[in-house]
């Protein structure tokens, strides 16, 4: 098991990368809130660094809860980093704490 900052300790290239990033736009206060909150910089860093770990036809799979707002929405930021995005699934969560629209995106390099 590796522990590091994004791709810091990764040298390989992959066919599929799954990234479940923080959705809510805010500064994290501790390790727990860091899994849920980010001001958008982590997503931008990921989109930049992931290119170095992608094979020719790699897919990046990312979920997104729309109720979190646009700051960390991959569909809005992927194109400015050279990715094409496809919404593979959209569903409405009707139970639990986080209700609303959820998308699963696939990102590929253009």
Tokens of 42: 């982590």
Q: What is the pLDDT of residues 9-34, one digit of tens each?
A: 999 999 999 999 989 898 888 888 88
Tell me the pLDDT of the chain averaged across its residues.
93
- 104, two tokens: 């699963």
Token representation of residue 95:
């139970």
Domain 14-109 class in CATH: alpha beta
Strands 83-93, 54-65: pairing is unpaired
Statement: residue 45 has pLDDT above 90:
yes
CA atoms of 6 and 21, how far apart (whole Å) = 11
pLDDT of residue 98: 77
Q: How far apart are CA 77 and CA 83, in angstroms?
A: 9
49-73: average pLDDT = 96
Q: The whole model's pTM is what?
A: 0.90
- Name residue 44's beta-bridge partners: none
CA atoms within 13 A on the CB side of 83: 28
């Amino acid at each position: 098991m590796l522990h590091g900052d994004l791709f810091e300790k990764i040298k390989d290239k992959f066919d599929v990368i799954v990234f479940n990033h923080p959705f809510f736009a805010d500064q994290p206060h501790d390790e727990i809130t860091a899994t849920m909150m980010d001001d958008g910089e982590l997503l931008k860093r990921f989109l930049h660094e992931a290119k170095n770990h992608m094979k020719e036809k790699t897919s990046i799979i990312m979920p997104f809860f729309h109720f979190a707002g646009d700051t960390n929405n991959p569909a809005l930021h992927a194109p400015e980093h050279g990715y094409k995005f496809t919404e593979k699934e959209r569903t409405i969560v009707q139970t639990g704490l986080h209700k609303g629209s959820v998308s699963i995106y696939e990102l590929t390099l253009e």
